[in-house]
Amino acid sequence: NTVYVFDKTLYQEAQLRYYIETHMHEALASEEYQLYLQPRMNLHTGHIDGAEALVRWKSPDQGFLSPGEFIPLFEKNRFIVKLDQFMFTSVCGLLRQWLDAGIEPRPLSVNVSQMQFHTPDFVERYIGIKSQYAIPDGLLELEFTESIFFDNVALLSSAVHEFRRAGIKCSIDDFGAGYSSLNVLKALPVSVLKLDGMFFRTAKDDEQANIVIRNIMRMAGELKMATVAEGVETPEQVAFLETTGCDIIQGYVFARPMPAAEFTALLAGEGGHAER
Ligand code: C2E
Ligand code: MG
Ligand code: MG
Protein backbone atom coordinates (compact mmCIF):
# COMPACT_ATOMS: atom_id res chain seq x y z
CA ASN A 1 0.00 0.00 0.00
CA THR A 2 2.82 2.41 -0.83
CA VAL A 3 2.94 4.50 -3.94
CA TYR A 4 6.28 5.51 -5.44
CA VAL A 5 6.27 8.46 -7.79
CA PHE A 6 8.96 8.75 -10.40
CA ASP A 7 10.33 12.30 -10.42
CA LYS A 8 12.38 13.15 -13.46
CA THR A 9 14.00 16.22 -11.89
CA LEU A 10 15.23 14.28 -8.87
CA TYR A 11 16.60 11.61 -11.18
CA GLN A 12 18.45 14.19 -13.29
CA GLU A 13 19.88 15.84 -10.20
CA ALA A 14 21.11 12.50 -8.92
CA GLN A 15 22.69 11.79 -12.32
CA LEU A 16 24.51 15.13 -12.33
CA ARG A 17 25.74 14.50 -8.78
CA TYR A 18 27.03 11.11 -9.83
CA TYR A 19 28.76 12.59 -12.87
CA ILE A 20 30.39 15.31 -10.78
CA GLU A 21 31.70 12.91 -8.17
CA THR A 22 33.07 10.44 -10.69
CA HIS A 23 34.70 13.08 -12.92
CA MET A 24 35.96 15.76 -10.55
CA HIS A 25 39.54 14.43 -10.34
CA GLU A 26 40.09 13.86 -14.03
CA ALA A 27 38.54 17.27 -14.72
CA LEU A 28 41.37 18.82 -12.72
CA ALA A 29 43.97 16.87 -14.69
CA SER A 30 42.43 17.80 -18.04
CA GLU A 31 42.12 21.49 -17.14
CA GLU A 32 38.35 21.68 -17.24
CA TYR A 33 38.21 24.06 -14.27
CA GLN A 34 38.72 27.56 -15.47
CA LEU A 35 39.70 30.79 -13.86
CA TYR A 36 37.11 33.50 -14.35
CA LEU A 37 37.58 37.00 -13.05
CA GLN A 38 34.94 39.54 -12.10
CA PRO A 39 36.32 43.10 -12.23
CA ARG A 40 35.88 45.43 -9.28
CA MET A 41 35.55 49.15 -9.83
CA ASN A 42 36.91 51.80 -7.51
CA LEU A 43 34.18 54.38 -6.93
CA HIS A 44 36.72 57.11 -6.07
CA THR A 45 38.87 56.72 -9.20
CA GLY A 46 36.45 55.12 -11.68
CA HIS A 47 39.12 52.56 -12.58
CA ILE A 48 39.35 48.78 -12.32
CA ASP A 49 40.58 47.99 -8.86
CA GLY A 50 41.33 44.30 -9.21
CA ALA A 51 39.05 41.31 -9.56
CA GLU A 52 37.64 38.28 -7.78
CA ALA A 53 38.60 34.81 -8.98
CA LEU A 54 35.58 32.57 -9.56
CA VAL A 55 35.76 29.00 -10.77
CA ARG A 56 33.85 27.66 -13.77
CA TRP A 57 33.74 24.04 -14.92
CA LYS A 58 33.74 23.53 -18.67
CA SER A 59 32.75 19.90 -18.97
CA PRO A 60 32.91 18.17 -22.36
CA ASP A 61 29.82 16.13 -21.35
CA GLN A 62 27.77 18.48 -19.17
CA GLY A 63 28.63 21.82 -20.72
CA PHE A 64 29.18 24.85 -18.59
CA LEU A 65 28.74 24.29 -14.85
CA SER A 66 28.56 27.09 -12.32
CA PRO A 67 29.94 26.86 -8.77
CA GLY A 68 26.47 26.53 -7.23
CA GLU A 69 26.15 23.14 -8.96
CA PHE A 70 29.38 21.54 -7.75
CA ILE A 71 30.89 23.48 -4.83
CA PRO A 72 28.33 22.28 -2.24
CA LEU A 73 29.20 18.69 -3.28
CA PHE A 74 32.94 19.40 -3.13
CA GLU A 75 32.49 20.82 0.34
CA LYS A 76 30.95 17.52 1.42
CA ASN A 77 33.54 15.25 -0.20
CA ARG A 78 36.56 17.47 0.58
CA PHE A 79 37.56 17.96 -3.05
CA ILE A 80 37.13 21.70 -2.43
CA VAL A 81 40.54 21.67 -0.72
CA LYS A 82 42.21 20.67 -4.00
CA LEU A 83 40.11 23.03 -6.10
CA ASP A 84 40.79 26.03 -3.85
CA GLN A 85 44.52 25.34 -4.06
CA PHE A 86 44.27 25.07 -7.84
CA MET A 87 42.48 28.43 -8.03
CA PHE A 88 45.01 30.13 -5.77
CA THR A 89 47.89 28.71 -7.82
CA SER A 90 46.21 29.82 -11.07
CA VAL A 91 45.82 33.34 -9.71
CA CYS A 92 49.51 33.46 -8.74
CA GLY A 93 50.38 32.13 -12.22
CA LEU A 94 48.36 34.89 -13.86
CA LEU A 95 49.92 37.63 -11.73
CA ARG A 96 53.36 36.28 -12.63
CA GLN A 97 52.38 36.33 -16.31
CA TRP A 98 51.34 40.01 -16.05
CA LEU A 99 54.51 40.93 -14.18
CA ASP A 100 56.69 39.19 -16.78
CA ALA A 101 54.78 40.81 -19.65
CA GLY A 102 55.04 44.30 -18.15
CA ILE A 103 51.27 44.59 -17.57
CA GLU A 104 50.54 46.59 -14.45
CA PRO A 105 49.20 43.97 -12.05
CA ARG A 106 45.93 44.51 -10.16
CA PRO A 107 45.06 42.83 -6.88
CA LEU A 108 43.17 39.55 -7.20
CA SER A 109 41.04 37.92 -4.54
CA VAL A 110 40.45 34.20 -4.14
CA ASN A 111 37.75 32.39 -2.16
CA VAL A 112 38.80 30.08 0.66
CA SER A 113 36.44 27.37 1.86
CA GLN A 114 35.97 26.46 5.48
CA MET A 115 37.54 23.06 4.85
CA GLN A 116 40.66 24.63 3.37
CA PHE A 117 40.97 26.78 6.44
CA HIS A 118 41.02 23.66 8.61
CA THR A 119 43.74 21.81 6.70
CA PRO A 120 46.77 21.72 9.00
CA ASP A 121 49.30 23.36 6.65
CA PHE A 122 46.91 25.89 5.09
CA VAL A 123 48.73 29.13 5.98
CA GLU A 124 52.23 27.81 5.16
CA ARG A 125 51.03 26.28 1.89
CA TYR A 126 49.44 29.49 0.61
CA ILE A 127 52.38 31.66 1.67
CA GLY A 128 54.68 29.09 0.01
CA ILE A 129 52.81 29.31 -3.30
CA LYS A 130 53.04 33.12 -3.18
CA SER A 131 56.81 32.99 -2.80
CA GLN A 132 57.18 30.22 -5.38
CA TYR A 133 55.70 32.63 -7.96
CA ALA A 134 57.54 35.60 -6.42
CA ILE A 135 54.36 37.66 -6.11
CA PRO A 136 54.96 41.11 -4.59
CA ASP A 137 53.09 42.02 -1.41
CA GLY A 138 49.63 43.54 -1.68
CA LEU A 139 48.46 41.77 -4.84
CA LEU A 140 46.75 38.77 -3.23
CA GLU A 141 43.62 38.75 -1.13
CA LEU A 142 41.87 35.80 0.51
CA GLU A 143 38.10 35.86 0.99
CA PHE A 144 36.67 34.10 4.01
CA THR A 145 32.95 33.81 4.61
CA GLU A 146 31.46 34.81 7.90
CA SER A 147 30.75 31.21 8.88
CA ILE A 148 34.49 30.54 9.19
CA PHE A 149 34.87 33.56 11.44
CA PHE A 150 32.00 32.54 13.62
CA ASP A 151 33.32 29.51 15.43
CA ASN A 152 37.02 30.33 15.24
CA VAL A 153 37.66 33.98 15.85
CA ALA A 154 40.91 33.28 17.75
CA LEU A 155 42.22 30.76 15.23
CA LEU A 156 41.30 32.94 12.29
CA SER A 157 42.76 36.00 13.90
CA SER A 158 46.18 34.37 14.08
CA ALA A 159 45.93 33.20 10.45
CA VAL A 160 44.95 36.72 9.33
CA HIS A 161 47.96 38.13 11.19
CA GLU A 162 50.31 35.63 9.55
CA PHE A 163 48.94 36.39 6.09
CA ARG A 164 49.22 40.10 6.70
CA ARG A 165 52.88 39.70 7.69
CA ALA A 166 53.40 37.74 4.46
CA GLY A 167 51.84 40.51 2.35
CA ILE A 168 48.50 38.78 1.73
CA LYS A 169 45.30 40.68 2.56
CA CYS A 170 42.24 39.01 4.02
CA SER A 171 38.60 39.91 3.59
CA ILE A 172 35.26 38.97 5.05
CA ASP A 173 32.99 37.78 2.24
CA ASP A 174 29.18 37.99 2.16
CA PHE A 175 28.95 40.30 5.17
CA GLY A 176 25.32 41.07 5.86
CA ALA A 177 23.97 37.94 4.16
CA GLY A 178 23.71 35.81 7.28
CA TYR A 179 23.97 36.41 10.98
CA SER A 180 26.58 39.14 10.65
CA SER A 181 28.41 39.59 13.88
CA LEU A 182 29.91 42.85 15.04
CA ASN A 183 32.22 40.69 17.11
CA VAL A 184 33.89 39.66 13.87
CA LEU A 185 34.60 43.31 13.06
CA LYS A 186 35.80 43.89 16.60
CA ALA A 187 38.23 41.00 16.67
CA LEU A 188 39.68 40.50 13.21
CA PRO A 189 42.37 42.60 11.54
CA VAL A 190 41.01 42.08 8.02
CA SER A 191 41.75 44.61 5.27
CA VAL A 192 38.54 44.35 3.29
CA LEU A 193 34.85 44.05 4.12
CA LYS A 194 32.69 42.67 1.30
CA LEU A 195 29.02 43.49 1.69
CA ASP A 196 26.55 41.09 0.19
CA GLY A 197 24.06 42.49 -2.31
CA MET A 198 21.21 41.45 -0.03
CA PHE A 199 22.43 43.96 2.48
CA PHE A 200 21.95 47.08 0.35
CA ARG A 201 19.27 45.89 -2.07
CA THR A 202 16.65 47.74 -0.06
CA ALA A 203 14.19 50.39 -1.14
CA LYS A 204 15.78 53.80 -1.74
CA ASP A 205 13.57 55.40 0.88
CA ASP A 206 14.12 52.80 3.59
CA GLU A 207 15.75 55.26 5.95
CA GLN A 208 16.39 52.74 8.72
CA ALA A 209 18.30 50.43 6.35
CA ASN A 210 20.21 53.35 4.85
CA ILE A 211 21.39 54.52 8.27
CA VAL A 212 22.71 51.03 9.06
CA ILE A 213 24.48 50.72 5.69
CA ARG A 214 26.05 54.19 5.86
CA ASN A 215 27.33 53.58 9.36
CA ILE A 216 28.72 50.13 8.59
CA MET A 217 30.70 51.78 5.77
CA ARG A 218 31.90 54.48 8.13
CA MET A 219 32.84 51.99 10.80
CA ALA A 220 34.78 49.89 8.30
CA GLY A 221 36.55 53.05 7.15
CA GLU A 222 37.59 53.95 10.68
CA LEU A 223 38.82 50.38 11.12
CA LYS A 224 40.98 50.94 8.00
CA MET A 225 39.05 48.32 6.06
CA ALA A 226 38.23 48.92 2.41
CA THR A 227 34.57 48.32 1.59
CA VAL A 228 33.43 46.33 -1.43
CA ALA A 229 29.75 46.15 -2.32
CA GLU A 230 29.04 43.01 -4.36
CA GLY A 231 26.09 41.95 -6.43
CA VAL A 232 25.47 45.55 -7.53
CA GLU A 233 22.99 45.37 -10.38
CA THR A 234 21.51 48.80 -11.04
CA PRO A 235 22.75 52.39 -11.55
CA GLU A 236 20.42 53.41 -8.69
CA GLN A 237 22.35 51.13 -6.35
CA VAL A 238 25.62 52.66 -7.56
CA ALA A 239 24.26 56.16 -6.92
CA PHE A 240 23.19 55.18 -3.42
CA LEU A 241 26.49 53.45 -2.64
CA GLU A 242 28.37 56.58 -3.72
CA THR A 243 26.59 58.49 -0.96
CA THR A 244 27.63 55.94 1.66
CA GLY A 245 31.40 56.25 1.24
CA CYS A 246 31.69 52.72 -0.20
CA ASP A 247 35.11 52.28 -1.86
CA ILE A 248 34.64 49.57 -4.46
CA ILE A 249 31.76 47.96 -6.35
CA GLN A 250 31.53 44.54 -7.94
CA GLY A 251 28.48 43.45 -9.88
CA TYR A 252 26.69 42.98 -13.17
CA VAL A 253 26.11 46.74 -13.45
CA PHE A 254 29.85 47.10 -14.06
CA ALA A 255 30.98 43.71 -15.41
CA ARG A 256 30.16 40.01 -15.29
CA PRO A 257 32.74 37.36 -14.47
CA MET A 258 34.88 36.74 -17.58
CA PRO A 259 37.69 34.38 -18.66
CA ALA A 260 41.10 35.46 -17.37
CA ALA A 261 42.33 36.25 -20.91
CA GLU A 262 39.43 38.65 -21.44
CA PHE A 263 40.21 40.44 -18.18
CA THR A 264 43.86 40.73 -19.20
CA ALA A 265 42.77 42.37 -22.47
CA LEU A 266 40.56 44.74 -20.50
CA LEU A 267 43.50 45.75 -18.31
CA ALA A 268 45.71 46.35 -21.32
CA GLY A 269 42.93 48.55 -22.78
CA GLU A 270 42.54 50.54 -19.57
CA GLY A 271 46.31 50.97 -19.32
CA GLY A 272 46.37 52.36 -22.87
CA HIS A 273 43.50 54.68 -22.06
CA ALA A 274 45.29 56.07 -19.01
CA GLU A 275 48.32 56.98 -21.12
CA ARG A 276 46.40 59.07 -23.62
P1 C2E B 1 30.96 34.81 -3.85
O2 C2E B 1 32.37 34.57 -3.44
O3 C2E B 1 30.13 35.67 -2.97
O4 C2E B 1 31.02 35.38 -5.33
C5 C2E B 1 30.12 36.30 -5.85
C6 C2E B 1 29.02 35.64 -6.66
O7 C2E B 1 28.07 36.62 -7.05
C8 C2E B 1 29.52 35.01 -7.94
O9 C2E B 1 28.71 33.86 -8.21
C10 C2E B 1 29.22 36.09 -8.96
O11 C2E B 1 29.12 35.61 -10.29
C12 C2E B 1 27.89 36.58 -8.45
N13 C2E B 1 27.58 37.93 -8.90
C14 C2E B 1 28.42 38.89 -9.31
N15 C2E B 1 27.79 40.03 -9.63
C16 C2E B 1 26.47 39.81 -9.39
C17 C2E B 1 25.27 40.63 -9.53
O18 C2E B 1 25.30 41.78 -9.91
N19 C2E B 1 24.10 40.04 -9.17
C20 C2E B 1 24.02 38.76 -8.72
N21 C2E B 1 22.83 38.27 -8.43
N22 C2E B 1 25.12 37.96 -8.59
C23 C2E B 1 26.33 38.48 -8.92
P24 C2E B 1 29.35 32.50 -8.71
O25 C2E B 1 30.51 32.75 -9.61
O26 C2E B 1 28.24 31.64 -9.20
O27 C2E B 1 29.93 31.88 -7.37
C28 C2E B 1 29.07 31.54 -6.31
C29 C2E B 1 29.85 31.24 -5.07
O30 C2E B 1 30.62 30.05 -5.23
C31 C2E B 1 30.84 32.33 -4.68
O32 C2E B 1 30.19 33.39 -4.00
C33 C2E B 1 31.77 31.54 -3.78
O34 C2E B 1 31.24 31.43 -2.49
C35 C2E B 1 31.77 30.19 -4.44
N36 C2E B 1 33.00 30.04 -5.26
C37 C2E B 1 33.27 30.42 -6.53
N38 C2E B 1 34.53 30.08 -6.88
C39 C2E B 1 35.09 29.49 -5.78
C40 C2E B 1 36.37 28.91 -5.49
O41 C2E B 1 37.31 28.88 -6.31
N42 C2E B 1 36.55 28.38 -4.24
C43 C2E B 1 35.54 28.40 -3.30
N44 C2E B 1 35.79 27.87 -2.08
N45 C2E B 1 34.35 28.94 -3.53
C46 C2E B 1 34.11 29.47 -4.76
MG1 MG C 1 33.83 35.72 -2.78
MG1 MG D 1 30.44 37.16 -1.75
Q: Ligand 2 centroid vs 172 CA: distance in angstroms?
A: 9
What digits encode the pLDDT tens for the residues 150-166?
777 888 889 999 999 99
Could you tell me if the CB of 257 is within 6 A of ligand 1? yes
Could you tell me if the CB of 251 is within 6 A of ligand 1? yes
* pTM for the full predicted model: 0.94
Could you tell me if the CB of 71 is within 6 A of ligand 1? yes
Residue nearest to atom 29 of ligand 1 (CA): 67
Greater model confidence, 272 or 207:
207
| pLDDT value of residue 201 | 81
Q: Which atom of ligand 1 is nearest to the CA of 196?
A: 3
5: which DSSP letter? -
Could you tell me if the CB of 92 is within 6 A of ligand 1? no
What digits encode the pLDDT tens for the residues 107-116?
999 999 999 9
* Residue 144 contacts residue 112 (beta carbons within 8 Å): yes
Q: Does position 84 have pLDDT exceeding 70, yes or no? A: yes
Q: How far is residue 90's CA from residue 253's CA, in Å, rounded to a whole number?
A: 26
Q: CB under 8 Å to 180, separation ≥6 — which residues?
A: 146
Residue nearest to atom 41 of ligand 1 (CA): 55
What digits encode the pLDDT tens for the residues 28-54?
999 999 999 999 999 999 999 999 999
* Whole-number average pLDDT of the chain: 92
